[in-house]
Amino acid sequence: MNLFAKVPRMKSITQNSTPSKILSGKVVTLLFYEPSSRTFASFAAAVKRLGGQTLEIIDPTNFSSVSKGESFEDTINTFEAYSDMIILRHPQKGASENASLQAMVPIINAGDGIGEHPTQALLDLYTIYEQYGRLENLTGVLTGDILNGRTIHSLIRGLSLFKNNTLYLLSPRELKLSDADRKEFIKRNISIIEIHKESDIPQNADFWYWTRVQKERFITNQEYEKVKNKFILSRDLVDKYAGKDTIFMHPLPRVGEIMPEVDLDPRAYYLRNQIRNGMYVRMALLALVLGGIK
């Protein structure tokens, strides 16, 4: 909540193009082993809006000494020597945790394989909080790749920190929660209902959170084709199950699972508030962790 309290200030720095010195003198490495648009650009913009500078290393597997066989540990040691923080996206679950065990500078997890995407969860939680003024007593529908979607895993974790939330997880059976994740979430303070058909979507949920099926996590294209786009957010679905205040969210990119006909609906937040909040929330996080803001 301390983080969320900083967001309006970040919004104002951005909207008024106020020169900020919060990160002046700081250099932040963005080390991205996997493709990214929003996470990469919003972090880069966040550092710059706060007066810091970035070292941007995209696809190190092909364009750095990693291609010569350098170990992950050596790469982390190198960039921590050059910068005050490393923001890491990596295809392996647990990579950020490993990096943080050996680095002296803060590591921010910008997505680790099918594991977690904590800063996405922060911006998602902020978007819900901005809408409802609370993070308790909420009902949400999370749809798509529940098995592999790290944004889903982190959002469930995040919402489990607050009281009395109920999440319907809608997916093809092949993409339901792994047994390990289910066990872990059951222990947490959240009520989870796994569903596999549209007609089980509850009426008037507070938010819908749609995701793409994570093609890059499948071994064959055939397996992916079998399960992709089983549940499509369309005008018709909205008319059947959404309430007048239900907000529609998506971490993006979307690849066909939300029809463009929904984009102009005022409840569609994925191309509007949710994206903008991504940068503001990341600015607030950087200001707290690196900028000495209390």
Min dist. Cβ of residue 150 to ligand NCD (A): 5
Letters for 43-82 (x = contact with ligand NCD by CB under 6 A, - = none) are: ----------------------------------------
120: nearest Cα among 89, 80, 85, 84: 89
Min dist. Cβ of residue 288 to ligand NCD (A): 21
Q: What residues have CB less than 8 Å from 268, skipping those under 6 apart?
A: 248, 262
User: Binding ligand NCD by CB under 6 A: which of 151, 160, 171, 274?
Assistant: 151
Please provide the DSSP assignment of 193-256 as one string. EEE-SGGGSPTT-SEEEE----GGG-SSHHHHHHHTTSS-B-HHHHHHH--TT-EEE--S--SS
CA dist 12 and 176 (Å) reads 41
Min dist. Cβ of residue 148 to ligand NCD (A): 9
Min dist. Cβ of residue 240 to ligand NCD (A): 25
At CA 121, angle to CA 97 and CA 291, rounded to 5?
70
The SS3 of residue 113 is coil
Strand partners, 108: 87
Binding to ligand NCD by residue 267, rule CB under 6 A?
A: no
Binding to ligand NCD by residue 154, rule CB under 6 A?
A: no
Nearer to ligand NCD, 80 or 208 (CB): 208
Binding to ligand NCD by residue 127, rule CB under 6 A?
A: no
Among candidate residues 9, 38, 196, 217, the one labeled active-site is: 38
Binding to ligand NCD by residue 157, rule CB under 6 A?
A: no
Min dist. Cβ of residue 48 to ligand NCD (A): 19
User: Binding ligand NCD by CB under 6 A: which of 75, 109, 120, 154?
Assistant: 120
Strand partners, 140: 167, 207
Nearer to ligand NCD, 79 or 209 (CB): 209
Catalytic (active site) residue 220: no
**What sections of the chain are H helices per DSSP?**
2-15, 38-49, 60-63, 72-82, 95-102, 118-132, 150-159, 179-187, 221-227, 235-241, 273-289
CA dist 13 and 10 (Å) reads 5
177: nearest Cα among 156, 161, 160: 156
Binding to ligand NCD by residue 182, rule CB under 6 A?
A: no
Catalytic (active site) residue 39: yes
Residues in 205-234 at the binding interface with ligand NCD, rule: CB under 6 A? 211-212
Binding to ligand NCD by residue 31, rule CB under 6 A?
A: no
Binding to ligand NCD by residue 249, rule CB under 6 A?
A: no
Catalytic (active site) residue 217: no
Nearer to ligand NCD, 22 or 175 (CB): 175
Peptide bond into 118 cis (omega under 30): no
Contact 7, 272 (CB under 8 A): no
Helix (H) or strand (E) segment spanning residue 25:
none
Contact 86, 76 (CB under 8 A): yes
Among candidate residues 14, 26, 29, 39, the one labeled active-site is: 39
Number of residues that bind ligand NCD (CB under 6 A): 11
Catalytic residue numbers read: 38-39, 68, 89, 117
Binding site for ligand NCD (CB under 6 A): 38-39, 111, 117, 120, 150-151, 211-212, 251-252
